[in-house]
Amino acid sequence: MSYRVYVNMQIDPEFGPESSDASQAVSELTGGVVRRATRLADGRELVYYDDPGTTLPAERSIDARLLDPRPETAHMRQDPLTGDWITYATKRQNRVMMPSADADPLAPQTPTNPSEVPSRYDVAVFENRSPAFGPALAQATGAAPEGANPPHGLDDLEAIGLERTRTSIGRCEVVCFSPEHAGSFGTQSVTRARTVIEAWADRTAALSALPGIEQVFPFENRGEAIGVTLPHPHGQIYAYPYVTPRTQRLRESIARTDQSLFARILDSEQRSSRVVLQGEHWTAFVPYAARWPLEVQLLPHRHVPDFTALSGDERDELAPLYLRLLRGVDALYETPTPYIAAWHQAPVSVGRDAIRLRLELTSPRRAADKLKFLAGSETAMAAWTAEILPEDAAARLRDAIASVSASVSAEETR
């Protein structure tokens, strides 16, 4: 008999203890992806995203683990020299480091591995157990956690003073691309990539609707050189209580130029020799002033603030095109390339008419056996020196993408 244990948590009436399975909230998304929402034993949200035509059963296992209470929400302090907010999430010190397959916390649960995901899955998204931000709200009341000192809007966050602190209201989620122990986004099928894109859009909509959230950021860290602690193919989504420093700098640049900055950048790059991949709806290019040895941006051709605004056709094209890009990145060398794939989205409440969704993929790898380390000038002064011309980097990447494009095309025709 299946059962569920609720430990130190407020019970959401939609997923109460009378539920006999974990498929109570089901909806169909675009592209034939099915969404199944439930909660883990400590109350954290878990959402399954089923591939179109999945072979998985509709019913999912209950999370019957006995879990410790969720940690207190972290806090953040303001640096008065920059206005930046620094989060202190001390519970993250004890994260799992490169576990074996039989102890993988992102694999489906087994009798010997009480992992984070109770059932076999295609794509799964759940709240991080030790997040940098959140939990945002008490689940039963919808209020800020007891004793919290949440931000009081953007004006409060953008003011500068000494020894200012706020509770790190927000959300951090883990996005599992596959139930397999090893891999990355680039190793997935076209169908699976399309499912993940649908999950990004769905989670962006859900997180943007949470009170106090100002920006939603999906990303993938890949490789030990980047600092990855789990080999399982996965990414993350951060929902911030502020507009991030990078995006604030972007807003300043737009204010000093005009609202069409992204359209003008795209037009300029499309006429350059730095384009590495282009479709009907998307263009990938090495930017004119690339900082990293490997740096690629991917932009939609029309103005789109975030994943939620992408059309079905744009999402359909993105899946194989993004796989071509990532597999080309891996084809540059004999071993997989470490990278950060950062999906920049417009903030929730400001700049949506001017800030465009874009991928910014960067890697410190400058040769087969060499990495670029950020030393004094880059780290201390943010004054960069690059060793590789963007035009040369683009030429190498175009050749690498060409060498793997046939494999993605073959997947699309199956």
Q: Is the dihedral of CA 226, 228, 232, 236 positive or negative?
A: negative
Q: Is the dihedral of CA 264, 265, 267, 271 positive or negative?
A: positive
217 and 250 in a common domain = no
Helices (H), 223-376: 245-256, 261-270, 312-331
- Any domain includes 8: no
Pair type for strands 275-278 and 282-285: antiparallel
Helices (H), 271-389: 312-331, 381
Q: Tell me the average pLDDT across 117-135.
A: 94
In the prediction, which pLDDT does 406 show?
80
Please state which of the ranges 36-50, 60-74, 129-143, 193-207 shows the lowest mean pLDDT: 129-143
pLDDT single digits (tens) 18-33: 333 444 699 999 999 9
Q: Is residue 15 scored above 70 in pLDDT?
A: no
pLDDT single digits (tens) 333-379: 999 999 999 999 999 999 999 999 999 999 999 999 999 999 899 99
Mapping DSSP to helix (H, G, I), strand (E, B) and coil, where does residue 339 land? strand
200 and 265 in a common domain = no
Q: Tell me the average pLDDT across 373-399.
A: 95
Task: Decide which of 242, 274, 290 is a domain's last residue.
Answer: 242
Residues annotated as part of the active site = 234
Task: Tell me the residue range of the domain where 262 lies.
Answer: 246-412
Burial class (CB in 10 A: 0-12, 13-18, 19+), 243: buried
**Percentage of residues in the chain having pLDDT higher than 90:** 82
- Any domain includes 393: yes
SS3 content of the chain, % helix, strand, coil (to 5): 30, 20, 50
For residue 47, what are its two tokens?
């959402």
Which residues are bridge partners to 47 per DSSP? Answer: 37, 125
Task: Decide which of 221, 242, 263 is a domain's last residue.
Answer: 242
Contact at 8 Å (CB) between 139 and 63?
A: no
pLDDT single digits (tens) 283-316: 999 999 999 999 999 999 999 999 999 999 999 9
In the prediction, which pLDDT does 140 show?
43
In angstroms, what CA-CA distances link 337 with 130, 233, 332, 358? 28, 14, 8, 21
pLDDT single digits (tens) 166-220: 999 999 999 999 999 999 999 999 999 999 999 999 999 999 999 999 999 999 9
CATH of the domain at 282: 3.30.428.10
200 and 74 in a common domain = yes
- Any domain includes 6: no
399 and 265 in a common domain = yes
- Any domain includes 1: no
Q: Is residue 257 scored above 80 in pLDDT?
A: yes
pTM: 0.92
In the prediction, which pLDDT does 410 show?
81
Q: Among candidates 63, 125, 67, 131, which has minimal Cα distance to 95?
A: 131
In the prediction, which pLDDT does 117 show?
98
20 and 50 in a common domain = yes
Mean pLDDT of the chain: 90
- Any domain includes 322: yes
287 and 235 in a common domain = no
In the prediction, which pLDDT does 142 show?
53
- Any domain includes 7: no
Please state which of the ranges 10-24, 31-45, 56-70, 128-142 shows the lowest mean pLDDT: 10-24
**Number of residues that make up the chain:** 414
190 and 152 in a common domain = yes
In the prediction, which pLDDT does 363 show?
97
What distance in Å separates the CA atoms of residue 187 and residue 178, rounded to the nearest whole number? 10
Confidence of residue 94 (pLDDT cuts 50, 70, 90): low
275 and 228 in a common domain = no
What is the per-residue burial (b if ≥16 Cβ within 10 Å, else e) of 167-186?
A: bbbbbbbbbbbbbbbebbbb
344 and 202 in a common domain = no
How many independent structural domains does the chain possess? Answer: 2
Instruction: Look at the block and give the residue holding tokens 């399982």.
Output: 232
262 and 407 in a common domain = yes
Task: Decide which of 183, 215, 242 is a domain's last residue.
Answer: 242
314 and 219 in a common domain = no
- Any domain includes 2: no
- Any domain includes 132: yes
289 and 225 in a common domain = no
Residue 395 per-residue DSSP state: H
Contact at 8 Å (CB) between 6 and 64?
A: no
Q: Is residue 51 scored above 70 in pLDDT?
A: yes
